[in-house]
Structure 1
Amino acid sequence: MPKLARRLAALLALSLLAFAAHAEGVKDLPWQVGPTKVQVGSHASLDVPAGYAFLGPDGTRRLDVIMHNPPNEADSYTLAPESLDWAAFFSYDDVGYVKDDDKLDADDLLKSVSEGTQASNAERRKNNWDTISVEGWKTKPVYDTTFKSLTWSFIIRNDQTHHESINYNARLLGRSGVMSAIVVASPTKIDTAIGEFKSAVGGFAFNPGQSYSDFRSGDRVAEYGLGALIVGGAAAVAAKKGFFTVILSALAAGWKLVLVGFAAIGTFFKRLFTRSKA
């Protein structure tokens, strides 16, 4: 067997063992299976529908370790469908009331995001992880004045494998801060994932008195506007969710050894949901 082929075979074998270990670790996380109502931080709640599972901060931190995600100081929460075709990560930023009257320049924002992503790759190199790049917009930023939500999505590329995936972002504005939601999926499944995500978070609500419309004179106002939410949010995606992005894009590319690892997780999820119905 040629030397390169032997190295590739060894790498694939290690990948299989690693993802099998990931599956074993993921199945032991404290998943809360829907239908159930959960708190998303101290400012909001979510009705988790049937067919979905939810992780609180402790479980999400353990998931980050399993998936080799850089640590996040803020509490984060995970929502995943039974299929595991995508995952959503929630976090709340207590920055104050964000004014929504600034204009969004997509070109300038993309440039800032790309530069921030490259800077964040220094941390990835320290851990010997693949670096990532922002290839461009999948959908440019759109602000919904009725629901006070800002959404956009990036095309993310793994610089080493060249696999692409999509990070869909939503920022839900509240009285005292912003709820962040990041949906990670492969390019072939992102449209379905976004539709399922929007349906699944129909039961999301800020707690009484914490909605954007509850703002009163004298409340703390954030030092930045909508544009900064995109730049800051993108840095968080690059630094924290890049590895999970690579995993999901690999699934779409047909890496069968990777699929084996996630098939184990998917099998566990099916058993988990079956037990919850018993």
Structure 2
Amino acid sequence: MKKLFAAAGLLAVLWAGGGVQAQEAGQPQVAFDWQRGPGTGAIGQRAAIEIPDEYVFLDAAETRRYVEWTENIPSDEEYLFGPTSDKWEAYFSFYEEGYVKDDESLDADELLASLQESQAASNEERRSRGWSELVLEGWHVPPRYNPDTRTLEWATLLRDSESGNTSINYNTRVLGRKGTMSVQVVARPEDFDAGLAEFKASMDGFAYNAGERYADYMPGDRVAEYGLAALVTGGAVAAAGKKGLFGVIGAFLASAWKLLLAGLVGIGVWLKSRFGKKGGR
């Protein structure tokens, strides 16, 4: 497989046995145990995704190593999936927050106002750290729920107050019997539209395991204290006592590979910009 890097020439990619080794000039080699398609990637004991030809997958331990190597903060347990073209990546994380009822309507204007209020508060923290403020300008994709696939998606537009650079924060939640699967999609801005289309097509190969599906709900199962709207505003993550880690499609300067969106939805969110320093696939 051929690895494409945002900063061409920074890394040398070397093949060795079943793994892939990546090396930054003057730095030790780092190997990642990529699972290559065709095959099936196990997302813990909860779900699985089909790995087509020319796609790769990392288990939780390898994803943690990869995220740390790219100088980002990993979540408790996440799994990487994406094409070998490196045009986008998806990170799967499960939040065991209970069965989320999907019978409420979504008011996009009201939800946006809530997010903007939270972002204004988060900018105080950003200023204290010497970081530029982030302006939440509006929706790129208003919140929408597909009852057939039990999938909630939305995307916000963010602008850096100093550089003027913008980003698209894309989020997906797939409802299950015992919680929700968060899927973070990361892509270069120029690859966003095509990458998002490919990601959605690849989700045809995603499925919860038997007994974990939304339709497998049984009376007596734990039910979440919130609905779809809270998944958008972050209330679900806050209530579960977890750290929100949402998918980001960024258009920031090459020097800003890691950016903390502190409290975008009331809690810390790390922008995962992978494209300056990445392991070969």
Shared fold per TM-score greater than 0.5? yes
**Any stretches of 5+ residues in structure 1 without a counterpart?**
1-15, 252-260, 270-278
Please give the TM-score of this superposition, normalised by the length of structure 2.
Answer: 0.71
Per-residue deviation, residues 93-139 of structure 1 (Å, max 9, x unmatched): 11111001112111221222233345556776777766544322111
Decide which of 30, 33, 41 is 2:33's aligned counterpart. 30
Matched, 1:39 2:42: yes
Q: Name the counterpart of 2:112.
A: 110
SS in 2 for 1:42: coil
The residue identity in structure 1 corresponding to 2:139 is: W
Which letter maps to 2:107?
D
Closer, same or farther: CA 33–176 of 1 in aligned 2, 3 Å? same
Instruction: Please state which structure has a larger fraction of its residues in strand.
Output: 2
C-alpha distance in 2 between matches for 1:187 and 1:164: 9
Aligned partner of 2:263 in structure 1 is: none
Aligned pair 1:62/2:65, yes or no? yes
Q: Judge conservation of contact 2:102–2:227 (CA < 8 Å) in 1.
A: yes
* Counterpart for residue 54 of structure 2: 51
Please state whether the residue corresponding to 1:102 is helix, strand or coil: coil
Whether the aligned pair in 2 keeps the contact of 1:165 and 1:186 (CA below 8 Å) is no
Query: What's the C-alpha RMSD, in Å, of the aligned pairs?
Result: 3.7
* Counterpart in the other structure of 1:276: none
Match of 2:217 in 1: 215
Unmatched tracts of structure 2, length 5 or more:
1-6, 13-21, 255-273
Does the residue aligned with 1:201 lie in a helix, a strand or coil? helix
> Do the aligned partners of residues 68 and 105 (structure 1) sit closer, same or farther apart at CA in structure 2, a change above 3 Å counting?
farther
CA distance in 2, matches of 1:49, 1:129: 40
Contact 2:99 2:221 in 1 (8 A): yes
Q: Which amino acid aligns with 1:83?
A: S
- 1:138-181 deviations in Å (ceiling 9; x for gaps): 11011111111111112233344322232322111111111111
The size of the alignment, in residue pairs, is 241
Map Cα deviations across residues 181-207 of structure 1 (whole Å, 9 max, x no partner): 121234432221111001222111100
Distance in structure 1 (CA, Å) of the matches to 2:191 and 2:236: 21
Q: CA deviation at 1:71?
A: 4.3
1:232 aligns with 2:234: yes
For the 8 Å contact 1:165–1:184, the answer to whether it is kept is no
* 1:35 Cα deviation from its structure 2 partner: 1.6
2:161 is aligned with 1:162? no
Q: 1:63 to 1:78 in 2, by over 3 A?
A: same
Task: Write 1 or 2 for the structure with the bigger share of helix.
Answer: 1
**Other structure's SS at 2:79 match:** strand
